[in-house]
Each structure stands twice: as structure tokens, then as C-alpha cells.
Amino acid sequence: MKRKIEIGMLYSRSSSYALIGEASRAGALAAVAAVNADPKLDLHLVPVERDPGGNADQYGPCCEQILRDTTARHVIGCVTSWSRKEVIPSLEKLGGTLWYPLPYEGFEASDHVVYTHACPNQHLLPLLDWALPAHGRRAYLTGSNYIWGWEINRLARSIVTAAGGKVLGERYLPIGACDVDRMIAEIRATRPDFVLNSLVGASSYAFLRAYHALGLVDPHFRAGSCPVLSCNLTECELPPLGEAADGLIAAGPYFQGVTGWPGPGQFASAHEAASYAAVRELARLLAHRPGVEILPLAALLAGAGGPIDAGTHHTALPVIIAQVRQGAFKVIQHRGTVPGDPFLTRAVPAATATLRVVS
């Protein structure tokens, strides 16, 4: 006999970052289908969806609707850190848990959030640890104008300068804005060794297309001499980029064709994989324990084992660096499985200061 359990889904399907939301949503729905089809699990998950339409101020009210009007206590979704921070007060007030399946900037460990994608010790630190010796220590930083870009670039600046390198420029665009000319002009003028791109959605596509065009007229700005690095680029955003994607380098827990996580099967992108893994882990925690779906997160996780740390609610994940070649990611480096360290207090940051310069 299957227990019917409602779970909330909070994805913006019409925002400038809709491709990421759709990838994440597809993974969550695939996991719901897999759980419901599994005769060994006593669960039938019923998705309850709300679409905040890419408006940060709608996330809180949408989350409250789910928690107030349905029996769902677990909600999966939110793409940006901005939206995640908007729903936390609703989760606290109404006793819900958010499963947040996107990479983020760290420095958070809410009682009401499970972080199932990478934080900086699982994306930015390994990415720079690889990039500084491979490409040089002169960086240009871009980002969308909110906490993700700000904090990723703050960390990048401290790592680059601690390694004896230099940040040549740092510039932001509001989410959705596409006027990238100034960034491109600054990059052209300063000729960095690499660009770190923390723009999201449409801004990112506009920037990457313009940067690709720059590379066509000046060969320095091609992947061999000045690659663009990213902590959140996956296969789901390659279609709008076309040829402009070639040479882009990203860190993430999954790229198409890599096996081992999150279990058997192929996924279209890390966003899809992380959402799939989140719902499967939730199902594992709920299965054969009637009534636990209303427990607070701490009680649900207590003694349950699994990849989620009961203290930080962060997830141990593979760390992979890969590059787009002929339209698909090819793995450059697989660094094994690394526990999440949201406050960067558990592991010593990579010893970038001792690395040699490669010209």
C-alpha cells in the first residue's frame, strides 16, 4: 500500500534563467515518477507546483501557499540564492523544509534547508586550484548583481590575491540585463589570463556570445589563452550558446557521461541530476517510516545516514572540472567525492600560493 505524500515544487518557468529551472524541475519530476513506479517503496509522491514567474518577491508567498493550503512539508526548488533567502522566513513560520538543488555561494546552514548541490569548496575552490597553475593568476570577474555573484567574486578575489595574482576588473549586471559591452571592453583592455563568469541566464548568454565574437578578432581571447570559467554552467544552457560555448570550463558534480552519481541512469545536466538525487534522498528518508513526513528536518535526518550531513545539511558530492568541446562537456579533472563545507572551516583552502605560473 502506497502512502500518498504531497511535495511542493517552486520553479520559475518564465524567467530569464528559466532553462536552469526547467532542468531542475525535470530532474525532480523524473525522481517522482521513479519513486512512484518503484514497488519496493511505500510512497506515492504528488507534486504541488507554484510558479513565482522569476519575481523574487513572489517566492515567499508561493512557498506559504504550498505550506498552508496543502499537506506538503517538503518543497523542492528555487534557482537563485536570492529566492532561497526569500523563502526561509516562510519555512520557519510554517514549519517546512526546502530542498535546494542548485550550486550556491555557501555561508548558510539553515535548520529548514537541505543543500543538495555544490557550495564553494565543491566548485570555486577546486576550479581555481586547477585554473591558476594552468592559465595564470590575472583574473577578470563578472557576475549578476546579487549575492551569488558578489560572494563568488569576493572568494575568488581572496584566493587569487593570496596566490600572488591580481584581479584586473570586476563588473556586475542586473539579472536579465544584456548590456555587456563595458565588460567586454574592460576585458579587452586588461587582457587577463582567465575570466570568471558568475552571470546567470540571459546576461550570461549575451556575455558569452560577445566574448566569443571578441575571440574571433583577437586570438588571445580564446579558450587556450584566456578561458571563461564558471561554477554553474551545465549542458542545459548550451543550446542558446551554440558555437559560443566551445572552450567554456565549468566545475560541477556531474557532466553527461560521468557515472557513479547520482546512481544509475543518464541525466541531461548536473541541475537535473542534483534535483533527481534530492527527491530520491527525500523518498529514502520517508520510505517505510509512516508519519515522518511531518517531522522537522533535524528529526528526519537523525541517525538516517546518507550523503547529507546532519550538522550542516550539505551534501557530499563528486567534484568534476570539464570543458565544452564540440558541443559537449569533456572531463578535465575528476577530484573524487568531497563533503560540503559551507563556512570553509573544515578543510584548509587549496595551497594555491605555492603553485607555479604557467605562461
Partner 1 sequence: MIRPVRTQNLGGARATILHRTHPTVQALTRQLVAIGLVVDQVWPELGPEALAADFIFFDTDMGYDAQFPWPARAAPMPMIALIGSEAPGRIEWSLQIGAHAQLLKPIGDNGTYSALLIARAGFDRHRALNAEVADLQKRLDQRQTVVQAVALLAARGKTEAEAYAQLRQMAMAWRVSFEDAANRVVARLGAEGKDDQRNQG
CB of 109 to partner 1, least distance (A): 4
At residue 95, what are phi and psi to the nearest 5 degrees? 70, 50
Among 206, 300, 342, 352, binds partner 1 (CB under 8 A): 342
Neighbours of 47 (CB within 10 A): 16
CB of 154 to partner 1, least distance (A): 8
Nearer to partner 1, 41 or 125 (CB): 125
> Is the Cβ–Cβ distance between 318 and 263 less than 8 Å?
no
- The footprint of partner 1 on residues 67-126 (CB under 8 A) is 88, 92, 107-112
Mark 135-164 with x for binding to partner 1 (rule: CB under 8 A) and - for no binding.
-----------------------x------
Total residues contacting partner 1 (rule CB under 8 A)?
Answer: 19
Nearer to partner 1, 110 or 116 (CB): 110
At residue 250, what are phi and psi to the nearest 5 degrees? -140, 155
Listed as own residue / partner, the contacts of 83-87 with beta carbons closer than 8 Å and 24 or more positions apart are: 83/10, 83/12, 83/52, 83/56, 83/59, 84/113, 85/147, 86/56, 86/57, 86/59, 86/60, 87/10, 87/59, 87/60, 87/63
What does the buried/exposed string (b/e) look like for 283-321 if buried means 16 or more CB atoms within 10 Å of the residue's CB?
Answer: bebbbeeeeebebebeebbeeeeebbbeebbbbebbbbb
Q: Which stretch binds partner 1 (CB under 8 A): 32-40, 185-193, 205-213, 342-350?
A: 342-350
Q: Which stretch binds partner 1 (CB under 8 A): 9-17, 58-66, 97-105, 310-318?
A: 310-318
Q: Which stretch binds partner 1 (CB under 8 A): 198-206, 221-229, 288-296, 305-313?
A: 305-313
Binding site for partner 1 (CB under 8 A): 88, 92, 107-112, 158, 298, 311-313, 341-346
